[in-house]
Structure 1
Amino acid sequence: MDAPLIRVGHGLRAAASAAGPAASGLASRSISGASRSAICHPSRATAVAATVAARHFSALNRPPPKYPGHVPLTKIEQAGMAIGSGIMSLFNPYRAVPGGPRDGGQMQIKHMMDTSPQLMRNLADLIATLGEATATPYFIYRLRDAMLAHPTGRRILRLRPRISSKTLSIPALRALPANSVGRAYVEWLDREGVSPDTRSAVKYIDDEECAYVMQRYRECHDFYHALTGLPTVREGEVALKAFEFANTLLPMTGLSMLAVATLKPAERRRFFGVYMPWAVKNGVRSKDIINVFWEEELERDVDDLRRELGIEQPPDLRAIRKREKEEKRRLKEMRAQGF
């Protein structure tokens, strides 16, 4: 019996003694019943305490964090953050960028958005916040349960590995065989000019284990890029998010597809005609990519891993975009020459 119950019991006995023998007997029976209830249903006291705490949870009376960096949110705060980050990531991806739309040159900034890793990281911060705000109460638990149902997923949850330049040796990855998973990963990092250290820490998901699941998904995102070959340009990110939504069902990945409205007409046609069908087909039929222990697959042949997971590579988007730019430049030169 815990201390609060003992103190309550002593109070009841004292009051019952003052009232008389009958009341004293009744109090003893009530205490005995409460003791049996607490022993048989130990979670009941915890549930009551959680309910009381929830009633007093507000922006001015926030409970303590459950893990380092955790920020508990009220339901209103969570909804506001989901709406705000969603709107900003869709309509204002140029925040905190020198020379943004306020300085003019929106076409130049949009070109920079397609080529600058820093701008992509700014947008990634907003998308990360959107992901955390929309993952609870159901979707992140579904993904956690998918890991618990798989032997490799359970091992990942038990060991909780992290992906960064401190846990992965980039020079060692460059020395791996040409068609290995690790070599494909590091070559994709070099080609796109990104680093595994750019993923922000999860802080708005209350359950510590689920917070790790979201962190794991976030840090594995670049492996998904390397596996599919999709670049970090907006068109490639939208295509990969469509694949991730079909595979993980995380709402953020589905909401991110709304960015297709910001693509150029030719890019939108290509997305709906080529990459959207590829994403749905491969995302639905492939195994849960959250259960891949990437750190143990680095020396494996990347084509062999794709076959095991059931993932086909889509058409090379960067090569397609390069050919289109060369064709436009050639036509422009021909017009300038009077043809």
Structure 2
Amino acid sequence: MSSNAGCSSSFATDYARHRVPLSPVQRAILAAGAAAISFADPFRGDMIACLAETTGSDALSYCHQKMLATSEGSRILAEKPRISSSTIDFSALKQLPPGTLGRIYYDFLDVNNVSPDSRTAVRFVQDTELAYVMQRYRETHDIYHALLLMPTTMLGEVSVKWIEAVQLRLPMCFSGAIFGAFRLRPRQRKLYVEHYLPWAINTAVGAKFLLSIYFEERWEQPLADFHREANIVPLVPLNT
């Protein structure tokens, strides 16, 4: 269901084409501009991506070390698999039994009309290894939504952002979680404070490090089994 052979070298080659070298001053200016635009217009995905890359160096180093600490995470870094329509057989995921991780991921993409191919290529992370960590995070974001059973509503996005913020320590995730919460309607805000936020923090602290999970090798795993293994208690029930 995937064909990631040779992805390690292909990522390095691909990233060399996209990489934009920056001086410290250029990085600071770009980060400030991206922050200003992102706060004014939270739907500017390009600016949010830019902000993440120009402010996330320490967090990416932390994530890299966390991944190296497990055999599964180490293999991800060594093999550098990609998640896209050219590497994942989505027609095969569609045929998997309901309740499996791969089928739930496929259904999430289908229901929400999203594609992993829409993820922005990393450009401003200077180290190729750390650039891959950022790219992996972007390409697994929708998988987090699917396995956590969180929709793409503002409430769902903010909840997932808190989990990513606590686990990954990316400044962009913290700002997205905090400022996104201000956009919630009164009824959503009540649910957020009483249920979603405590659940997100507890999940982030107690669950396995999501970036170290080789999802491509787990498509056939029942989500209920994955939840037990990863120490995740879903906030909403899994309907199969």
TM-score band, normalised by shorter chain = 0.7 to 0.9
Distance 2:50 2:154 in 1: 18
- The corresponding residue for 2:34 is 85
Decide which of 66, 69, 78 is 1:149's aligned counterpart.
69
Task: State yes or no: 1:310 paired with 2:210.
Answer: no
Q: Is the 8 A contact 2:19 2:126 kept in 1?
A: yes
CA deviations over 1:170-199 (Å, ceiling 9, x no partner):
111110011111000000111111011110
Following superposition, the deviation at residue 262 of structure 1 comes to 1.9
Distance 2:45 2:224 in 1: 28
What are the ranges of 5 or more consecutive residues in structure 1 without an aligned counterpart?
A: 1-65, 94-121, 317-339
Decide which of 122, 126, 130 is 2:51's aligned counterpart.
130
Q: Is the 8 A contact 1:90 1:259 kept in 2?
A: no
What are the ranges of 5 or more consecutive residues in structure 2 without an aligned counterpart?
A: 1-14
TM-score by length of 1: 0.63
Q: Percent identity?
A: 39
Q: Which amino acid aligns with 1:91?
A: A
SS in 1 for 2:18: coil
Following superposition, the deviation at residue 89 of structure 1 comes to 2.4
- The corresponding residue for 1:180 is 100
Following superposition, the deviation at residue 85 of structure 1 comes to 2.2
Decide which of 190, 207, 224 is 1:286's aligned counterpart.
207
TM-score by length of 2: 0.88
Following superposition, the deviation at residue 249 of structure 1 comes to 1.3
SS in 2 for 1:67: helix
Q: Which amino acid aligns with 1:243?
A: I
CA deviations over 1:36-56 (Å, ceiling 9, x no partner):
xxxxxxxxxxxxxxxxxxxxx
Q: Which amino acid aligns with 1:286?
A: A
Larger Rg: 1
Distance 1:189 1:145 in 2: 30
Q: Which amino acid aligns with 2:115?
A: S
Q: Which amino acid aligns with 1:314?
A: L
Of structures 1 and 2, the one with the larger relative CO (CA 8 A, separation 6+) is 2
Following superposition, the deviation at residue 269 of structure 1 comes to 2.2
Distance 1:259 1:188 in 2: 22
Q: Which amino acid aligns with 1:225?
A: H
- Could you say what the CA RMSD is over the residues aligned between the two structures, in angstroms? 1.5
Distance 2:25 2:183 in 1: 29
Q: Is the 8 A contact 1:240 1:279 kept in 2?
A: yes
Q: Which amino acid aligns with 2:146?
A: A
Q: Which amino acid aligns with 1:245?
A: A
Distance 1:274 1:90 in 2: 26
Distance 1:78 1:266 in 2: 40
